[in-house]
């Protein structure tokens, strides 16, 4: 039995610090490195919305079983209902306040 080794190296991304627009958070590098806060509460919905990529010609040429497996991405769809903005705002606040 051969042991499989993960050869993936860590990804290092240089942080970009931006003012938050909230006085109590400005100057905190951990918070300033987070994504910028949206202007409006309803814009939080865009953070959770997800639609899988449309099938390409390459996907359509795959075997029947592979196409069936690719079709399972339909379960990955997340439609952001207006109520989601409330939850996203709460989660964003929780991250910044903890």
Does residue 57 lie within any of the structural domains? yes
pLDDT for the residue numbered 35: 86
Does 22 fall in a domain?
A: no
Please check whether residue 62 lies inside any domain of the structure. yes
Helices (H), the chain: 29-32, 45-48, 57-60, 64-71, 84-97
For residue 32, tell me if it sits in a domain. no
30 assigned to some structural domain: no
What is the reported pLDDT for 53? 86
- Judge whether 26 lies within some domain: no
| 66: three-class secondary structure by DSSP | helix
Q: How many domains does the chain have?
A: 1
Does residue 81 lie in a domain region?
yes
Q: Output the tens digit of pLDDT for each of the chain's 98 residues.
A: 445 556 678 888 888 999 988 999 999 999 999 988 888 877 777 778 888 888 899 999 999 999 999 889 888 888 888 788 888 888 889 989 98
The CB-side HSE value for 54 (13 A sphere, CA atoms) comes to 2
Range of the domain at 71: 38-97
Query: Residue 12: inside a domain, yes or no?
Result: no
- The three-class DSSP label of residue 50 is strand
């Amino acid at each position: 039995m051969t042991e499989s080794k993960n050869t993936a190296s860590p990804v290092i991304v240089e942080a970009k610090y931006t003012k938050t627009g909230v006085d109590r958070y400005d100057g905190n590098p951990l918070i300033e490195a987070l994504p910028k806060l949206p202007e409006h509460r309803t814009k939080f919905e865009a953070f959770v919305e997800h639609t899988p990529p449309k099938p390409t010609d390459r996907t359509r040429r795959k075997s029947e079983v592979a196409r069936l497996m690719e079709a399972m991405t339909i379960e990955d769809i997340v439609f952001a209902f207006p109520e989601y903005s409330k939850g996203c705002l709460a989660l964003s606040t929780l991250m910044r306040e903890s």
